[in-house]
Amino acid sequence: RARGAGGAGRCGLGGRCGRRALLACAAWTAGWVLAAALLLRAHPGVPSERCTDEKSRRILAALCQDYRGGTLGGDLCEDLCEAGQLRYRRCLYYERGKKVLQADWRGRPVVLKSKEEAFSSFPPLGLLDGQPEAGGQDLPEAELLVLAAGEARSALGLEPAEGGLGRLGLARRGPRRRGQLASLWALLQQEEFVLLSLLRGRSPHAPPVLGSCGHFYAVEHLAAGSPGHRALFPLGPDGGRRGQARAVSGVALSFLDMVRHFDHDFAHRLHLCDVKPENFAIRSDFTVVAIDVDMAFFEPKMREILEQNCTRDEDCNFFDCFSKCDLRAHRCGAQRANSNLQVVCDKIFRHWFSSPRGTSVVSGPLRGQLRAAVQECAAPGAQGAPRVLGRLRSLLQAALWELRDSEEPRPGGEEPSAQGSSP
């Protein structure tokens, strides 16, 4: 009490301590508001809304009504609302406001996404206030680019690359420009749309945005992985144990390519904080595609998310992205302590290569080396990522060569059944 009274005496002049305490409290609160918002967006423990065809059709009907009224626009609206070239097929999932629907676009399966159900849920573009229904023609492109860059910076934590926003179509003019700008503004509030738009044409491991209508954007439909699949992903025709083992080795090599690509091929490292089969898909050539990047962050945003208050290391875990708690400062380090490679090894590769029966068609010595390399890679605090990645790549390539060299015709042209075995 004596120390408290003395402190009050020293702080009494002008209430400086009170203001400092208020500022400290505000800083603490702001940090946790960011973390809480991200947790609420993606925490698996929060129940999801029931996904129904009836509600999905109502959502798209409301979208088209707004399009016909000039409230919104987009290059897919005509096909969706008038021409019948973009047809709803089924509801994939609803999750904390996010709506994900499957559709056919001119015979091509696509996925329609928005993080909110209604267009009115997004803050309006202030520049359009007072503009007539057919207005927006004279809004200066430079001012629009500044605003768009600000939204992209907020979503990504960094300045978009020069020319990167030009592909969003800010310069387009026409009778529906007001609705198109309002729609683009709603899309810029969605981190995944911004990230995929800026990665378009720059990454084989991210699906390109194909178009949009209002606040919904379309990407190609790819069959996602699932823990229910024996090999985690649908890998095409069985092809026997050797065929499955070849497919798994090819997919594993593509995962390694993706990790290296996200670590080194952009101005900032791209961190994957939610690694699970459901968030990836496999193309027919075994290329891995990250189909859900709501929890992917470039380095500046990652540091902002991790650098929070803490009392122990566990407070610094943001899904699959970990940091360390400085117990003297009670702050999480801004530097991520684990890596994309470590998480992929732990949550994907262990399923394939850690079981003694895994890759059973590969020779014993090579199987043992693969198992040991995956265990080393997946271990918490694993060091020497480039060396481990290189070793895994060499072993997987050796497995592919061994499988190809050992192929011989069998009586009846069939390989032994793969049922009950891991690839």
* Average pLDDT score over residue span 180-196: 93
In terms of pLDDT, which residue wins out, 11 or 305?
305
Q: What is the structure's pLDDT at 173?
A: 59
* Average pLDDT score over residue span 278-288: 96
Q: How confident is the model at residue 47 (pLDDT cuts 50, 70, 90)?
A: low
**CA 183, 188, 191: angle at the middle one, nearest 5?**
135
Q: Which residues contact 38 (CB under 8 A, 6 or more apart)?
A: 295, 305, 318
233-247, 348-362, 393-407: lowest mean pLDDT where? 348-362
In terms of pLDDT, which residue wins out, 4 or 114?
114
Q: What global pTM score does this model have? A: 0.82
**SS3 assignment for the chain:** CHHHHHHHHHHCHHHHHHHHHHHHHHHHHHHHHHHHHHHHHHCCCCCCCCCCHHHHHHHHHHHHHHHHCCCCCCCCHHHHHHHCCEEEEEEEEEECCEEEEEEEECCEEEEEEECCCCHHHCCCCHHHCCCCCCCCCCCCHHHHHHHHHHHHHHHHCCCCCCCCCHHHCCCCCCCCHHHHHHHHHHHHCCHHHHHHHHHCCCCCCCCCEEEEECCEEEEECCCECCCCCCCCCCCCCCCHHHHHHHHHHHHHHHHHHHHHHHHHCCCCCEEECCCCHHHEEECCCCCEEECCCCCEEEHHHHHHHHCCECCCHHHHEECCEECCEECCCCEECCCCCCCHHHHHHHHHHHHHHCCCCCCCCCCHHHHHHHHHHHHHHHCCCCCCHHHHHHHHHHHHHHHHHHHHHCCCCCHHHCCCCCCCCCC
pLDDT at 379 over 70: yes
Using CB atoms within 10 Å of the CB of residue 122, give its burial: 0 to 12 exposed, 13 to 18 middle, 19+ buried.
Answer: buried
* Average pLDDT score over residue span 108-125: 96
Q: Are 331 and 307 in contact (CB under 8 A)?
A: yes
In terms of pLDDT, which residue wins out, 45 or 159?
159
pLDDT at 74 over 90: yes
Q: What is the structure's pLDDT at 40?
A: 47
pLDDT at 140 over 70: no
Q: What is the structure's pLDDT at 360?
A: 66
3-17, 90-104, 316-330: lowest mean pLDDT where? 3-17
pLDDT at 8 over 50: no
In terms of pLDDT, which residue wins out, 143 or 367?
367
In terms of pLDDT, which residue wins out, 282 or 34?
282
pLDDT at 19 over 50: no
Length reported for the chain: 423
Q: How confident is the model at residue 339 (pLDDT cuts 50, 70, 90)?
A: very high
In terms of pLDDT, which residue wins out, 166 or 261?
261
In terms of pLDDT, which residue wins out, 317 or 169?
317
Condensed to tens digits (0 to 9), the pLDDT of residues 51-63 reads 999 999 999 999 9
Of residues 3, 176, 225, the one with CA closest to residue 74 = 176
Q: Can you tell me which residue has the tokens 């694993």?
A: 382
Q: How confident is the model at residue 391 (pLDDT cuts 50, 70, 90)?
A: very high
* Mean pLDDT score of the chain: 83
In terms of pLDDT, which residue wins out, 351 or 230?
351
Q: Can you tell me which residue has the tokens 């192929």?
A: 407
Condensed to tens digits (0 to 9), the pLDDT of residues 208-236 reads 999 999 999 999 999 999 998 888 998 87
In terms of pLDDT, which residue wins out, 181 or 81?
81
* Average pLDDT score over residue span 303-307: 96
Q: What is the structure's pLDDT at 139?
A: 66
Q: What is the structure's pLDDT at 161?
A: 64
